[in-house]
Structure 1
Amino acid sequence: MKIYINARFLTQTITGVQRYALELVKEIDQLIDRGEIDGNRYEFCLLSPSNIINEPAFKHIRHKAVGKLKGHLWEQLELPFYAKGGLLINLCNTGPAFNKNQIVTIHDAAVFNYPKAFSFAFRAWYKFLMVRLGKTSKKIITVSHFSKGELMQHCKIAEHKLVVTHLGIDHIHRKKAAAGTIEKYGIQSPYVLAVSTMNPYKNFNLIFEVLPEIEAHNLNVVIVGSKNSKVFGEQTWAKSDAVNWVGYVTDEELKALYEDAAGFIFPSLYEGFGLPPLEAMASGCPVIVSSRASIPEVCGDAVLYFNPDSPKEAASQLIEITSNPELSKQMSYKGKDHSGLFSWNKCAKDTVNIIMNTM
């Protein structure tokens, strides 16, 4: 039985969605290796365009670069042809609009809730595609119960088609913190860390609004993530000597930044899941997060919450975790315990069960 995986994500910079796809495929490969999936009965194959930037290395899952096109055109016009005769698995929000023998993971419905955060072309295409995929696909996987409700509301996807699988966090434990990261980026400790894409609904302006309080307590801010994107609308960002915008970093550098941070802040207004707070928790960093969307579902009682519309409340919580050593220690222990509930092994097993029950 042939199972094709849409590997267009191998052509993309790794953010949360691509992380999910990579780690999930790695874990499925391990399930085959351990004999938990019958590799003689089920054949998994990655199909990608030729312009990949991340070369996969799996024991049992083959990779084939196929077709001559790139991007959405490759996905819509060439991928369906090469996936004929098998079930197609799409892991990153998109898939061929007219292929019925497929499963699609849709992470959130942000284009419906925050349309102004995206370019016109992006949101128009994604709104059409998500509704279409909800109608034609055999199953829709999503990453939180919050997102399940959002997709039912905005895309009118039938509840029986939707299945929730939480993401994992154990990838962070497989990385060794890169020595010299603090020195490489000229970071001044103590610092508060923030990690995200620069989508407007990530609410990064809040960080700049609390800068006076942060600086008053001799704290600096380190932001991981690119300032610019073709997807998101034009944005301007305040400048401050207390803010070190390091851009994209390696996984090993990111782990070093998590481990050395005095605290982690996640001010997002909307998330389908929200992986960075769990990565910070797993690294022992005390965390404060927005009380919106899926974030309470994911973070539980292992963090401090704040109203993302209240910079004053965010500043208060931030100062609390960075100036109270006992609280910081307690949150570090609690965060490590809570993050342990989320594993790629469980995510992969749940996903494979969905695949097997669909074929």
Structure 2
Amino acid sequence: MIIGINMIALPAQSGGGPFRYFQMLLKKIAEYELIDVSFIIYKQKQISIEYLAVPSSLNVEYVDVPNLGFGIRRILFEQTLFYLYLKPLDVLYSYCTSMPLLARCKKVFTLHDVYYLTTKERYGFLQRTYLTWMTKLYCKLCDTVLTVSEFSYNEIRKYLKVPEDRLFITYNFIDNNTTDPKRPDKLEDVNGRKIDMDKPYFFYVGDLQPGKNIKGMVDGFVKYANTRSDIQLIIAGKSSSYGQEMSHYISNFDNVFYLGYLSRNDVNWLLKNCSGTVLLSFCEGFGIPPLEGFGYGKPALTSNMASLPEVVGRAGVKINPYKIDEIAFGFKTLEEQYLEYVQNIPEQLAKFSPIKSAESFMDALRINYKPYSCMNM
């Protein structure tokens, strides 16, 4: 069985949540004995094999396509010249909404969310219209659609009418073998301000875009902490035009720092040592940073919308992201009732089993494998 993995939507070595999700899936799949299975990974040529970090135990061939960047050029290439690079495949999978729709094989992709249909914070009218039309086309022409949470499953059924027999959940998860990251030599924000790594802090990691409610998070923290010098809010992730605006706004506060895009080691170190993760999005298909924090025993402050209550359960504080007073109270509650939320983390983590996610993914692609229990006897 030959499985193609379409990763040409990744334009730079700074992948976000969907890329991280698929990296973890491959790592877990590599722990199984796959029977007569090989992979062909299609990527833009500037993306190194080292960055993809595909486990060496998997039988993988890499095919480079030109440097396409991000946007219309990649989309046009995918539906035209990409066919010249495609080899005979049994299945072609994409970790996001990116697929040569006329490929002559079983086509599977992961649709993480549909919040461009339900919120207006991130996309303008024309972009929402385009994404809606394209997503409906992908759902119609692909054989199987995967998604990452019960919330997203219900939203896809409601707005895109994907039949139940073609839509499956493969939950996001974290590796149970959480890494022990190395302490960075130093950390600085984008304006050159040094971070006191021994001072308590709350931590946000993710893209800086309007749907993530960065300004609301900062305003709520500042309202709670005011000018306190004993607590910080540290923000890390990919920037954008909105991110540049937020970076300038953040520079007005002595206890809020934006560090830009960080290495995985530095992100893990910040997760391990924070007072709690923060994710106050208006909409999330899943929201993996709270789970990553749970892996290090850290509770979360999240919005009470979309998939986040499903993800966080009783291991975090959930508030209305539109109300600054509630956000401020959420920081206060998390700080004062820290141990109460920490004790609920194991129960919440157990709901997102790496084994179940990996096996549901392989079943959807019809991969023949020996069950995990057999591999560990």
Indicate how the Cα distance of structure 1 residues 216 and 286 shifts in structure 2: closer, same or farther if over 3 A, else same. Answer: farther
SS in 2 for 1:247: coil
Decide which of 222, 242, 262 is 1:249's aligned counterpart.
262
The aligned amino acid for 1:286 is P
More helix by share: 1
Deviation of 1:281 after TM superposition, in Å, equals: 1.5
Whole-angstrom distance in 2 between the partners of 1:68 and 1:221: 40
Question: Conserved in 2, the CA contact under 8 Å of 1:99 and 1:137?
Answer: no
1:212 matched to 2:226? The reply is no
Pair 160,110 (structure 1): closer, same or farther in 2 beyond 3 Å: same
For 1:170 and 1:235, the matched residues in 2 are separated by 34
Unaligned regions of 5+ residues in structure 1, if any?
none
Please name the residue that 1:4 is paired with: 4
Quick one: which of 291, 295, 299 aligns to 1:278?
291
Q: Partner amino acid for 2:240? A: N
Query: Is contact 1:193–1:261 with CA below 8 Å preserved after alignment?
Result: yes
- Structure-1-length-normalised TM-score: 0.86
1:224 lines up with 2:236 in the alignment: yes
CA RMSD, 1 decimal: 2.7
Partner of 1:105: 110
Alignment check: 8 A CA contact 2:97 2:138 kept? no
Quote the offset at 1:9 in angstroms.
5.2
1:78 to 1:86, Cα distance in 2 relative to 1, 3 A: farther
Q: Distance in 2 between matches of 1:216 and 1:73?
A: 50
Q: What is the rounded CA distance, in whole Å, between the counterparts of 2:126 and 2:180 in structure 1?
A: 40
Q: Pick which of 126-135 and 1-10 moved more.
A: 1-10
Are 1:99 and 1:136, in contact at CA under 8 Å, matched by a contact in 2? no
Aligned partners of 1:2, 1:350: CA distance in 2, in Å? 18
- Give the conservation status (yes or no) of the 8 Å contact 1:93–1:104: yes
- Give the deviation of 1:104 after TM superposition: 1.0
Q: Indicate the larger mover: 288-297 or 151-160.
A: 151-160
Q: In 2, are the aligned partners of 1:290 and 1:307 still within 8 Å (CA)?
A: yes
SS at match of 2:98: coil
Q: Does the residue aligned with 1:193 lie in a helix, a strand or coil?
A: strand
SS at match of 1:213: helix
Answer yes or no: is 1:63 the counterpart of 2:61: yes
Q: Deviations over 1:104-160 (max 9, x none)?
A: 111000222234513667545432221101101111001111111222233232232
* Alignment-derived partner of residue 156 in structure 1: 161
CA displacement at 1:6 relative to structure 2: 0.9
Partner of 1:95: 99
Q: Is the 8 A contact 1:46 1:61 kept in 2?
A: no
Q: Quickly say closer, same or farther: Cα 1:67–1:285, change in 2 above 3 A.
A: closer
**Post-superposition offset of 1:198:** 1.4
Answer whether contact 2:146 2:169 (CA < 8 A) is retained: yes
Q: Distance in 1 between matches of 2:215 and 2:154?
A: 28
1:126 has 2:131 as partner: yes
1:63-121 Cα shifts (integer Å, max 9, x gaps): 32244463333432244451444211111222123346301111000222234513667
What residue is the counterpart of 1:75 in the other structure? 78
Distance 1:15 1:293 in 2: 19
Residue 306 of structure 2: aligned partner: 293
3-state SS of 1:117 partner:
coil
What is the aligned partner in structure 2 of residue 179 from structure 1?
183
Report the secondary structure of 2:328's partner residue: helix
Q: Name which of 38, 43, 46 aligns with 1:48.
A: 43
Match of 1:196 in 2: 206
Change (3 A) 1:116 1:303: closer
Q: 1:317 & 1:67 partners in 2: Cα distance?
A: 47
> Contact between 2:203 and 2:235, CA under 8 Å: does it hold in 1?
yes
8 Å CA contact retained: 1:103, 1:139 = yes
Alignment of 1:231-270 (within 5 A): 235-236=245-246, 238=249, 239-270=252-283
Alpha-carbon offset, residue 222 of structure 1: 0.6
- Identity %, equivalent residues: 23
Tell me the distance in 2 between the aligned counterparts of 1:338 and 1:260. 20
Find the residue that maps to 1:268 and give its secondary structure. coil
Counterpart amino acid of residue 19 in structure 2: Q
- Structure 2 alignment gaps of length 5 or more: 69-73, 369-377
What amino acid does structure 1 have at the position aligned with 2:257?
Answer: N
Q: Distance in 2 between matches of 1:319 and 1:182?
A: 28
Q: Is the 8 A contact 1:178 1:256 kept in 2?
A: yes
Residue range with higher mean Cα deviation, 339-348 or 115-124:
115-124
Alignment-mate amino acid for residue 7 of structure 1: M
Between stretches 90-99 and 234-243, larger displacement belongs to 234-243
Contact 2:188 2:259 in 1 (8 A): no
**Partners of 1:271 and 1:253 in 2: how far apart?**
24
Provide the rounded CA distance (Å) in 1 between the counterparts of 2:28 and 2:280: 30
2:174 is aligned, of 158, 163, 169, to: 169
Q: Which amino acid aligns with 1:306?
A: I
Q: What SS is found at the alignment partner of 2:31?
A: helix
